[in-house]
Amino acid sequence: MKPTVRRIGVLTSGGDAPGMNAAIRAVVRMALHLGIEVIGIRRGYHGLINGDFVKLDFESVSDISRRGGTMLYSARSKEFMTEAGQEKALATCKLLGLDALVGIGGDGTFNGLLALAKKGISVVGIPGTIDNDIACSTYTIGYDTACNTALESIDRLRDTMKSHERCSVVEVMGRHAGHLAMSVGLAVGATVVVMPEEHLDFEASVIEPIRCARLSGRTHFMVIVAEGVEGGACGVAQRIKEELVLDTRVTILGHVQRGGSPTSRDRIIATYMGHEAVKLLAEGKTCRVVAMDGEKVVDYDIAEALQMTKGLEQYGLEVMSDLTGIDVVL
């Protein structure tokens, strides 16, 4: 393969996700394999605007795959959303002699890449977010680790909820998406899962399943709520308390879900994606997003990818409905 690029930049932007380091490592190692230099841009687009960079070599990415967070730091840059900010970022690319940029993050990161592509930089995006809400990809880096972190905490919660015969209302991350809530709910065997995508009939989907579980002999209840649900876990807990007079406790798992050593799934997929991103750039391709289609690595045009939509996984919803008796209305 004859590379058409000589020096690429790599950055992580938006909310971090476990596995981002494995993706950075794969980008660097694949690039070096093809004789391409790599510059790490620190603090996402904020760093690109301010020329905050570090040269990455073989050794600088050694032993990072097992670490949570991102060695390049991350940020959400408001300035980069402006034309002036994008011009400054372009100036940094020119100053550093970057032919191409790999951006690891979510839709905001991909929008940023698109803006730079319009100014002549070759770009490839890699989906990294614990929310698994990138429409073009069935999987995003960090999702598996976040699910496992949440379920470990919820297993612990269940012990104490069971002893005290309480109702536990747990809020998991997901500002706009219920993928994490659904997976975690399935994994812990929740009584109820509430997701932002559904048209919630509170009586039918929350109160009645708890009542049914009580009638079946259960004396503790696990309710999983995605962060993006109106009122969040506190709102849901309040209504449960009012309507069922149950001893209820709220736990907001929050940013703990974004940390920790990535699972093997996150490390492997991140490694595939990082490898593929550099391969695409070396082949002279640009404006692409690397994605997973099941177990297969694929890629899409960024602009097209940003237009795609992704619903909750139908099969998971069906299983959940059969096991909890809740019909999720989307």
Interacting residues toward ligand F6P by CB under 6 A: 15, 129-131, 173-175, 227, 258
Is the separation of the CB atoms in 18 and 50 below 8 Å? no
State in angstroms the smallest separation of the CB of 145 from ligand F6P. 12
- Distance CA(325)–CA(215), nearest Å, equals 14
The neighbour count for residue 2, using CB atoms within 10 Å, is 8
Is the separation of the CB atoms in 291 and 114 below 8 Å? no
Work out the end-to-end distance of the chain between its first and last CA atoms, rounded to an integer number of angstroms.
47
Is the separation of the CB atoms in 132 and 179 below 8 Å? yes
Query: What are the beta bridge partners of residue 12?
Result: 104
State in angstroms the smallest separation of the CB of 38 from ligand F6P. 24
State in angstroms the smallest separation of the CB of 205 from ligand F6P. 22
Scan for tokens 């709910």, then name that residue. 185
Q: Write the single-letter amino acid at 50.
A: N
Q: What residue number has its CB nearest to ligand F6P?
A: 15
Is the separation of the CB atoms in 108 and 127 below 8 Å? no
- Distance CA(200)–CA(194), nearest Å, equals 8
CB-nearer residue toward ligand F6P: 43 or 258: 258
State in angstroms the smallest separation of the CB of 30 from ligand F6P. 25
DSSP H or E run through 38 = strand 37-41
CB-nearer residue toward ligand F6P: 129 or 248: 129
State in angstroms the smallest separation of the CB of 227 from ligand F6P. 5
CB-nearer residue toward ligand F6P: 29 or 46: 46
CB-nearer residue toward ligand F6P: 121 or 181: 181
Buried b (16+ CB within 10 A) or exposed e, 179-191: bbbbbbbbebebb
CB-nearer residue toward ligand F6P: 17 or 213: 17
Which residues does the annotation mark as catalytic?
131
